[in-house]
């Protein structure tokens, strides 16, 4: 398990005042982040631009040192023993960094394998396996500059797996990829977690991707954790009320008014809105049976009655807006 406690990072930058002089400035990119990642789990790290996600991943992959805080990998103190930890982890970022264009796919993987000190015959076997997994066997001996974006990203994945890491950090891994490659990558991420028991930490701005892949979510804002839990926890937290869509044959304002009166006799705070020929009902109470009962009593023909399940995207947008407007009540 990876355990992170009170991680903090302050960058020092020089802000140019004019041509001759600049002033030192501190940027608190990560203020206080604590999290856990178990083997076999896919955890999402979400947040708007500049929230501190990449900085967190860079600290966890030992690329940069934290200003404060502790973190351990399977009980090993990562700050005291970064070399031990480096062997157990790897990172896959979206885009075209960390790949040498003039080298072939095979040579790139050979180079990174050598950096990890993997023994030659084992490395050869692993490269062949990985090229097969990412579907690049036929392209193994072509220079990377001849690859499409999707092919480069597949090579990134193979590179990120070269040391057979126990934990993998994915920083926006599907950025710029087409739907087919994205879907293949999703399958591969799920396979790595569920079949190979890898612990995976993923950042992404595609919330449908997070919704599909992640078992657990951490939401960061301005370097601080603002929420942690499952997708269901998050949507329940943000949308504490039930929402229903109800439509009947001949829906009109008179029906809406009657329905509103009926439902307010059960929950005084329930709301009934007339939207696009439907009644949209909001209530803290569970009202589907009461809505159906109303239709039967009024001899109405139901076209539609269902509960709206909010998406992760709606929840994150609402929560982020609430935080921006400084902690307005979430409902």
Residue 180 CA to residue 119 CA, distance in Å, equals: 35
Our CB check for ligand ATP shows the closer of 54 and 314 to be 54
The option from ligand ATP, Mg ion, none interacting with 88 (CB < 5 to 8 A, set by class) reads none
Residue 179 CA to residue 185 CA, distance in Å, equals: 10
- Show the tokens assigned to 193: 């977690």
Of the candidate residues 7, 29, 248, 300, the single one contacting ligand ATP (CB under 6 A) = 29
Residue 331 CA to residue 318 CA, distance in Å, equals: 10
Residue 296 CA to residue 288 CA, distance in Å, equals: 13
Sequence-ordered alpha helix ranges (H) in 195-329: 207-213, 231-238, 253-264, 288-297, 312-324
Our CB check for Mg ion shows the closer of 91 and 134 to be 91
Question: Quick check: 154 and 123 in contact, CB under 8 A?
Answer: no
Our CB check for ligand ATP shows the closer of 55 and 283 to be 55
The option from ligand ATP, Mg ion, none interacting with 29 (CB < 5 to 8 A, set by class) reads ligand ATP
For Mg ion, what does the binding mask look like between residues 39 and 68, x meaning CB under 5 A? --------------xx--------------
Rounded to the nearest whole angstrom, what is the least distance from the CB of residue 240 to ligand ATP in the complex? 27
Contacts within 8 Å (CB) and 24+ apart, 25-28: 28/223
The option from Mg ion, ligand ATP, none interacting with 277 (CB < 5 to 8 A, set by class) reads none
For ligand ATP, what does the binding mask look like between residues 211 and 240, x meaning CB under 6 A? ------------------------------
The option from ligand ATP, Mg ion, none interacting with 272 (CB < 5 to 8 A, set by class) reads none
For Mg ion (CB under 5 A), the number of binding residues is: 2
Q: Is 320 in the site for ligand ATP (CB under 6 A)?
A: no
Our CB check for ligand ATP shows the closer of 218 and 246 to be 218
- Go through 286-318 and write b for each residue having 16 or more CB atoms within 10 A of its CB, e for each that does not: ebeebbeebbeeeebeeeebeeeeeebeebbeb
Q: Is 14 in the site for ligand ATP (CB under 6 A)?
A: no
Question: Quick check: 63 and 98 in contact, CB under 8 A?
Answer: no
Helical axes 288-297 vs 253-264, angle rounded to 10°: 130
Our CB check for Mg ion shows the closer of 48 and 280 to be 48
Our CB check for ligand ATP shows the closer of 52 and 165 to be 52
Q: Is 34 in the site for Mg ion (CB under 5 A)?
A: no
3-state secondary structure of 199: strand
Binding to Mg ion in span 127-166, by CB under 5 A: none
Question: Quick check: 287 and 242 in contact, CB under 8 A?
Answer: yes
How many other C-beta atoms lie within 10 A of the C-beta of residue 243? Answer: 15
Q: Is 206 in the site for Mg ion (CB under 5 A)?
A: no
Q: Where are the beta strands (DSSP E) in the chain?
A: 2-16, 22-37, 42-46, 68-73, 76-77, 89-93, 167-171, 199-203, 216-221, 224-229, 242-248, 271-275, 278-283, 302-307
The option from ligand ATP, Mg ion, none interacting with 122 (CB < 5 to 8 A, set by class) reads none
Q: Is 27 in the site for ligand ATP (CB under 6 A)?
A: yes
Q: CA-CA-CA-CA torsion for 285, 288, 294, 296, nearest 10 degrees?
A: -160
Q: Is 94 in the site for ligand ATP (CB under 6 A)?
A: no
Our CB check for ligand ATP shows the closer of 50 and 277 to be 50
- Show the tokens assigned to 82: 């970064």
Our CB check for ligand ATP shows the closer of 147 and 169 to be 169
For ligand ATP, what does the binding mask look like between residues 45 and 74, x meaning CB under 6 A? --x-xxxxxxx-------------------
3-state secondary structure of 25: strand
Residues binding Mg ion (CB under 5 A): 53-54
What residues line the site for ligand ATP (CB under 6 A)?
A: 11, 13, 27, 29, 47, 49-55
């Amino acid at each position: 398990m990876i355990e992170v406690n009170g991680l903090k990072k302050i960058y020092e930058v020089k802000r140019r005042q004019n041509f001759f002089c600049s002033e030192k400035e501190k940027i608190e990119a990560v203020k206080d982040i604590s999290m856990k990642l178990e083997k076999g789990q896919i955890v999402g790290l979400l947040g708007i631009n500049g929230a501190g996600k990449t900085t967190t991943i860079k600290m966890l992959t030992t690329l940069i040192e934290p200003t404060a805080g502790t973190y351990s990998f399977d009980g090993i103190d990562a700050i005291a023993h970064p070399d031990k930890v480096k062997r157990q982890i790897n990172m896959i970022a979206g885009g075209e960094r960390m790949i040498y264009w003039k080298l072939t796919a095979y040579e790139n993987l050979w180079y990174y394998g050598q950096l990890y000190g993997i023994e030659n015959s084992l490395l050869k076997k692993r490269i062949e396996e990985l090229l097969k997994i990412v579907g690049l066997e036929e392209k193994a001996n072509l220079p990377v500059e001849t690859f499409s974006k999707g092919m480069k990203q597949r090579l990134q994945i193979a590179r990120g797996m070269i040391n057979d890491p126990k934990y993998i950090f994915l920083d926006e891994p599907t950025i710029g990829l087409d739907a087919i490659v994205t879907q293949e990558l999703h399958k591969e991420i799920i396979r790595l977690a569920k079949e190979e028991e890898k612990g995976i930490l993923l950042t992404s701005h595609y919330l449908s991707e997070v919704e599909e892949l992640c078992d657990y979510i951490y939401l960061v804002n301005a370097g601080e954790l603002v929420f942690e839990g499952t997708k269901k926890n998050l949507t329940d937290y943000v949308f504490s009320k039930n929402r229903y869509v109800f439509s009947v044959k001949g829906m009109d304002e008179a029906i809406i008014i009657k329905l509103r009166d009926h439902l307010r006799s059960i929950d005084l705070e329930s709301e009934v809105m007339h939207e696009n020929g439907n009644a949209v009902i909001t209530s803290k109470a569970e009202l589907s049976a009461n809505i159906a009962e109303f239709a039967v009593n009024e001899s109405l023909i139901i076209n539609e009655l269902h509960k709206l399940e909010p998406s992760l995207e709606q929840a994150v947008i609402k929560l982020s807006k609430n935080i921006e407007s400084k902690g307005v009540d979430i409902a």
